[in-house]
A and B are shown apart, each in its own frame.
Chain A
Amino acid sequence: MRRIEALAHLVELTEHDPLVVTCAATSRELASLADRDNHLYLLDSMGLVGSVATGLAIAVDGSDVRKVIGIEGDGSLLMNPNVLPTGGYLAPDRLLMVLLDNRVYGSTAGLPTYADRVDLGALAAASGWTVGTADDEASLRAEFARLAETPGPALLHVRIEAGNAADIAKLLVDPVSITLRFTAWLTARLPRPAA
């Protein structure tokens, strides 16, 4: 499965969920498939998807939002692996990370990450996350559906092929426009000022 194929399924599965997306090729490919108000693209903050999703999962506790969903890469997660112990320790009910693991820094010349030798899903499990794995489209959809209904931090470890989709436009937007769009979408779904 290529990244853009995995993202095409995630687009279908997350129409009503806040989505925090890692930078560069992943954000671009997602936006080329669907550019929605519920997408928070982190354009240049490597490793921060899990932290931002954790903060949002804390903030939406008690609302009708089922999960805050982070879409992260293996290389980006390895730049801030604290995400795993912190998420396991704080254990927000509504946190779901989708890890698109191609074992390379896909936006950085395809240089190798540790993911060849280090099982990031096992790291998450050791930190207290509920972990599912997927290596094809059917297992991606089935495990996503299961984890979306599992309280507590959950990680869907998706094995994908290396390589980026061709001819995808850069996301050349002012980040504040993403903030305004995403915040309006999310706060409209929260019944009260979030804590």
Chain B
Amino acid sequence: MGTRTYAQAAAAGIWASGAKHVGYIPSVTVAPVIQALVETDGGRDGVSEHVTPLSREEEAVGVLGALPLAGSFGAVVMQDNGFGNNLTALTTFSVSYHLPLLIVANTRGSLGEYNSMIHSISQHVPPILRTLGIPVVELDRRSSVDDWHDVIAEAGTHAVMTYRPVVVLASFWNTDGKVA
């Protein structure tokens, strides 16, 4: 337990949330999370039976957000600047149809960010999501590896219990991971 990385803890938390399938949109920051998800699912090179690359955040909401209609549950791993791409799908589908979905996104809008352009969207993601009534839980350097695991797992439970998408925003700055 004590030797795992924040990324490994995040991946374990996603499986512990009850997610049966994970879709991801690549980013360098979440690549270690994806690698840990794939490895723990018996795959390699970014793909396994239950871990799937996708090309845009909007379709991720459609593909993984649909699983509860079949009695299952899914998770999306992405970067926070992609919420500009998927807000319409999140609101008109997941929120309106009361479909649980766990989204774990790394943040690019604060400490450690070098890119002022990505900051322009990422900085505003938490208030945008909260304005839409989508619960946001934030993680950063101040809590332990085990806390990241537990928060992500419970966020999935919260999504299922409330029949809504729940977003975990994870800042890797000053953890053992990297921002970008």
A: residues with CB less than 8 A from B are 40, 42-48, 50-56, 58-60, 80, 82-83, 85-86, 89-90, 175-176, 178-179, 182-183, 186-187, 190, 193-195
Q: Is the interface of A mostly helix, strand, loop or mixed?
A: helix
Q: When the two chains form their complex, are residues A51 and B63 in contact, meaning their CB atoms are under 8 A apart?
A: yes
In the assembled complex, the Cα of A82 lies from the Cα of B89 at a distance in Å of 14
Could you pull out 16 A-B pairs where Cβ atoms are within 8 angstroms? Answer: A43-B92, A45-B89, A47-B58, A48-B58, A51-B58, A51-B89, A55-B67, A55-B74, A80-B59, A86-B59, A86-B63, A178-B97, A183-B68, A183-B69, A187-B71, A194-B20
B1-9, B49-57, B116-124, B153-161: which one contacts chain A?
B49-57
Whether A56 pairs with B52 at a CB distance below 8 angstroms is no
4 further contact pairs, Cβ within 8 A, besides A45-B89, A59-B71, A175-B98: A48-B93, A82-B59, A86-B63, A194-B67
Q: Are B55 and A52 in contact (CB under 8 A)?
A: no
Give Cα A89 to B46, complex, Å: 14
B55–A86 contact, CB under 8 A?
A: yes
Q: Is the CB of B69 within 8 A of A179?
A: yes
Complex contact B67–A59 (CB within 8 A): yes
Beta-carbon contact of A179 and B98 below 8 Å:
yes
Q: For the complex formed, measure the closest distance between the CB of B67 and the CB atoms of chain A, giving whole angstroms.
A: 5
A194 touching B72 by the CB < 8 A rule? yes
* Docked-complex contact A52 and B63, CB < 8 angstroms: yes
Q: Any chain A CB within 8 A of the CB of B149? A: no
Question: A195–B71 Cα gap in the complex (Å)?
Answer: 9
Known: A86-B55, A176-B98, A179-B97. A51 touches B68 (CB 8 A): no
Which of B71, B74, B88 has the largest count of A CB atoms less than 10 A from its CB? B71
Q: Which residues of B contact A186 (CB under 8 A)?
A: 69-71
Residues of B within 8 A of A45 (CB): 62, 88-89, 92-93
Contacts of B52 in A (CB 8 A): 90
Contacts of B66 in A (CB 8 A): 51-56, 59
Complex alpha-carbon distance, A55 and B99, angstroms: 13
Closest to B88 in A: A45
CA gap between A172 and B1 in the complex, in Å:
52
Q: Whole-angstrom distance between the alpha carbons of A85 and B53 in the complex?
A: 12
